[in-house]
Amino acid sequence: MLVLDKLKEYLKDNRDDIIGDLRSLIKHPSVSAQGIGIDECAGTLNAIVRDSGIESKLIRIEEGNPIIYGELKGDKRDGKTLLLYSHYDVQPAEPLDKWRYNPFSGIVIDDKIYGRGAADSKGNVIAIVKAIKAMLEMYEELPLNVKILIEGEEEISSINLPRFVEKNKAMLKADACVCFDGSLNPSGTPNIFAGLKGLLYVELRCSTANADTHSSLAPLIDNAAWVLIKVLNGMKRNGKIAIPEWYDDIRVPSSDDIALLEDIEYDLESIKSSYGLKEFIHNVKGRAALKKLLFEPTCNIAGIHSGYTAAGSKTVLPSTAYAKLDFRLVYNQSPDKLFKNLERYMEEYGIEVIKLGALEPSKTDVKADIVKSTREAARKVYGNDPTLFPNSWASGPDYVFTKILGIPSVWTGCSPANANIHAPNEFTGIGNVMSGICYISSIMQEFGSLKQKNE
Amino acid sequence: MLVLDKLKEYLKDNRDDIIGDLRSLIKHPSVSAQGIGIDECAGTLNAIVRDSGIESKLIRIEEGNPIIYGELKGDKRDGKTLLLYSHYDVQPAEPLDKWRYNPFSGIVIDDKIYGRGAADSKGNVIAIVKAIKAMLEMYEELPLNVKILIEGEEEISSINLPRFVEKNKAMLKADACVCFDGSLNPSGTPNIFAGLKGLLYVELRCSTANADTHSSLAPLIDNAAWVLIKVLNGMKRNGKIAIPEWYDDIRVPSSDDIALLEDIEYDLESIKSSYGLKEFIHNVKGRAALKKLLFEPTCNIAGIHSGYTAAGSKTVLPSTAYAKLDFRLVYNQSPDKLFKNLERYMEEYGIEVIKLGALEPSKTDVKADIVKSTREAARKVYGNDPTLFPNSWASGPDYVFTKILGIPSVWTGCSPANANIHAPNEFTGIGNVMSGICYISSIMQEFGSLKQKNE
């Protein structure tokens, strides 16, 4: 039986090993969108996993980034099997000039480790691996069978993961999944999500002529930026997405989900202060803001570019304009179906649509065993109730577990709140990583000691 | 009396000097928007002018780019004085990857000289200077008094020129001005403009939060790109600028201007084929297209940028968005007044407006002497009628001559049509430069031999 105090002692003694390995992961950029430092990071991670006691494999993916996979039997014959998922790839570090430190240094300042991926999600990856190592070194065996799956394409919509999971259903068979790729909330307890939004990420390309021209010809020649702006503007009406049939497949949240929403104490106000906001869109507040955050599909402009954007002035009429859009989808919108709607919509304006990523939304019953075990583990490690959300505002490949493997799954993690993920100056706390190791160890303990349903 | 055939012989003999000096000007970038290579270019130009026989000066401008100024008395006591204007600065060369050759090499291929500024307007500058040199070497004196003024800020709205002209009215006193910064039309004869549009160039800055955030917060946090797009979209309605009082000060073209419009044979169709267009905006054609081009004020997006625009996908919610806009103004809109209108309009949306440049519109009577002389010179050099426009679709600092000095002014030049000005792969033809020298020489001859009005 896991004794947390004993584990904490162990972690003190092994701090250099844990932090050193996290820093070496951060030093390999592993930016999947840009294909930088992927193989080096995967190789380093595989060595770190194998050092924990799992004989993992680096599985090469055709035209994709390697997956690190490993499994280990627990102490019970026919005991439960838990699949642990995370990712070693990171978002691009741009804009580089906004970083206080080199984003790939993993520099430690005041017990914080700075770097792209420190919080999302290399800190979580290290927590998984070092929890297993700790349990094995302390108890010589695990309280349940464990399978770990760490991919390198989460930040580019896990493009190869669905195929991999589909092909390896038997190998990946498990009773439940924990996706360890999340954060604590501002009050310092973990967020646990029993559902994730889906994602459709596209690039729009608008072209009005075969070359840029002098802006004096503006009375006669269409400007690609103006055309794209008009089309983008028309895509939203009163805050809603104005593309036909966009909302048709949405299922309203279950009564359990809505009931849970009422219980959530989540400090949305801290988001306002973090970003210097006077109010949220339409001045929504409290429960209404939370419901909007969790259950509203979005259309976000992640980037737009056209013409001359360097210093000073240039009187050019741009012939091309680009925008990157990410649509968050809610249960049970289909990214493939909506992509086709979007293509049809854009066809009328002669705008090309390129799909850069797609994730289906995912949902797990809030009363599932793995939800209970994760909640209990968080309570024990963090000293008070975690925040259980019926759905997340973010997206991830959770659906490969709930829809393809057909098992319940929770999304949680140990990174600090407001850790600047996907933004400059991302960091995690050393304390956060250490608590994360305790959290994963406790989840294994809790889920492993639950009675089998069919016993 | 100028004999064109003799001049052409001279030009053959001096080809290396002329082309060599043009290439050395192109090799100094002199990008005024970026402050690159300005002083080197000005110094080189001053040496080239002095070599022509005019003891020019490089006049330093406080917080601005040097002006090359020189004057030379002609053969007649109390003869006419012609002011010759052009500029040595150039547009930025970006996007660099679209150039077939280094934009600052001045490489010669098939009798074309490629490089940023080859056509706009270093080829024209060389034509002025070498025309004076040729006349002096062939005839030992000029047929009229000449003042030359070559500035280094034309591509950034001639920000210091109005003050310079205002301060030096006596020095710059002249009977007329020729702004030699233009092109031939597709049929190979010069365009001559008796008026130019004004310009207001601004940057809009929109900020919605104090940092970029993860796009999963899109249900709650305003995206700066969306805000800017909505505002930009609202600035235009049915192709018109929807900012209050924008059209109030416009004077309708004079009856002479409209009559002239009827005579113009200008091949707008070649613009369509150059840029691969099926039709112009609103499918406007012929005379109506020309009238729109010459007399319609515009609002052009020269550039827009927000968020992540590098390779692949990044799920970021941008907190800032920028756009560069150039407004072309027609007689007699005031850039200063319209800037204030725009500021007021943007204030409501919390968008900051920065003025990057302003030029007033300018107008010269199409029956002025300098118009007649320039037209006659073009006829003689190019073998058929030039195209005289009552107004240009482009902008320039012509108003400093018409409004501050109070003299008639024409805008013309010798660069080839469709020379990719303000775009990649700009070029001029060696033949165009040589004809340009003949053209300038003839203008001096024609204007110098006109009887004084008050004789």
Task: Identify whether the C-beta of residue B316 lies closer than 8 Å to the C-beta of residue B197.
Answer: no
Contact across the interface for A324 and B311, Cβ inside 8 Å: no
Task: Choose the weakest-confidence range: A45-49, A392-396, B10-14.
Answer: A392-396
Output the average pLDDT for chain B.
95
Question: How many other C-beta atoms lie within 10 A of the C-beta of residue B260?
Answer: 18
Structure tokens at A394: 């973010």
Q: Is the preceding peptide bond at A332 cis, omega within 30 degrees of 0?
A: yes
Structure tokens at B134: 């040729």
What's the gap between Cα B299 and its chain centre? 18
Report whether pLDDT(A438) > 70.
yes
Structure confidence at residue A455 (pLDDT)? 40
Nearest by CB to A216, which of B274, B289, B394?
B394
Q: Each residue of B334-378: pLDDT tens digit?
A: 999 999 999 999 999 999 999 999 999 999 999 999 999 999 999
Structure confidence at residue B266 (pLDDT)? 79
Q: How many CB pairs under 8 A join A and B?
A: 292
Nearest by CB to B310, which of A92, A197, A277?
A92
Nearest by CB to A277, which of B221, B310, B393?
B221
Task: Identify whether the C-beta of residue A412 lies closer than 8 Å to the C-beta of residue A194.
Answer: no
A268: chain B residues, CB-CB within 8 Å? 220
A183: chain B residues, CB-CB within 8 Å? none
Q: Which of B445, B199, B414, B454 is nearest to B325 (CA)?
A: B199
CA A109/CA A115 separation, integer angstroms: 11
Q: Each residue of B100-136: pLDDT tens digit?
A: 999 999 999 999 999 999 999 999 999 999 999 999 9
DSSP B155: G
Strand order in the sheet with B191-193: B57-59, B67-72, B145-151, B81-87, B176-180, B409-412, B191-193, B387-389
Report whether pLDDT(A331) > 70.
yes
**What is the band of B455 on the pLDDT scale with cuts at 50, 70, 90?**
very low
Question: How many other C-beta atoms lie within 10 A of the C-beta of residue B72?
Answer: 19
Task: Identify whether the C-beta of residue A323 lies closer than 8 Å to the C-beta of residue A301.
Answer: yes
According to DSSP, the residues that pair with B387 across neighbouring strands are: B191
Spell out the SS3 assignment of B288-336: HHHHHHHHCCEEEEEEEEEECCCCCCCCEECCEEEEEEEEEECCCCCHH
Mutation to test the B interface, candidates A193, A233, A304, A329, most B Cβ within 10 Å: A304
Report whether pLDDT(A213) > 60.
yes
A356: chain B residues, CB-CB within 8 Å? 312-313
- Mean pLDDT for A283-309 is 96
Structure confidence at residue A313 (pLDDT)? 84
User: Hunting for tokens 């060595």 — which residue is that?
Assistant: A47
A153 Cα to chain B: minimum distance (Å): 11
Structure tokens at B75: 């053969």
Query: What DSSP element (H or E) covers A175?
Result: none
Task: Identify whether the C-beta of residue A221 lies closer than 8 Å to the C-beta of residue B275.
Answer: yes
Structure confidence at residue A225 (pLDDT)? 98
DSSP A340: H
What is the architecture of the domain spanning A202-250+297-359?
Answer: 2-Layer Sandwich (3.30)
Torsions phi, psi for B166 (to 5 deg):
-55, -45
User: Hunting for tokens 């690039």 — which residue is that?
Assistant: A203
Contact across the interface for B211 and A281, Cβ inside 8 Å: no
DSSP B403: I
Tell me, what's the ipTM? 0.86
Structure confidence at residue B452 (pLDDT)? 55
Domain edges within chain B:
4-196+361-449, 198-250+297-359
- Mean pLDDT for B314-329 is 96
B166 Cα to chain A: minimum distance (Å): 24
CATH pick for B4-196+361-449 out of 3.30.70.1350, 3.40.50.300, 3.40.630.10, 3.40.109.10: 3.40.630.10
Highest CATH level, class, for B198-250+297-359: alpha beta
Contact across the interface for A302 and B293, Cβ inside 8 Å: no
Structure confidence at residue A454 (pLDDT)? 42
Strands A387-389 and A352-359: unpaired
CA A306/CA A266 separation, integer angstroms: 39
Report whether pLDDT(B77) > 80.
no
- Mean pLDDT for B192-208 is 97
Question: How many other C-beta atoms lie within 10 A of the C-beta of residue A224?
Answer: 24
A422: chain B residues, CB-CB within 8 Å? 212-215, 314-316
- B120: closest chain A residue by CA: A214
Nearest by CB to A216, which of B280, B292, B328?
B328
Structure confidence at residue B311 (pLDDT)? 86
Structure tokens at B33: 């928007």
B51 Cα to chain A: minimum distance (Å): 33
Q: Each residue of A191-206: pLDDT tens digit?
A: 999 999 999 999 999 9
Q: Please spell the DSSP secondary structure of B57-112, one letter per residue.
A: EEE--TTS--EEEEEE--SSTT--EEEEEEE--B----SGGG-SS-TTS--EETTE
Contact across the interface for B356 and A312, Cβ inside 8 Å: yes
Strands B112-114 and B427-429: antiparallel
Contact across the interface for B293 and A223, Cβ inside 8 Å: no
Contact across the interface for A303 and B300, Cβ inside 8 Å: no
Nearest by CB to B328, which of A218, A393, A423?
A218
**What is the band of A452 on the pLDDT scale with cuts at 50, 70, 90?**
low
Q: Between B430-449 and B4-13, two packed helices, what is the crossing angle to 10 degrees?
A: 140
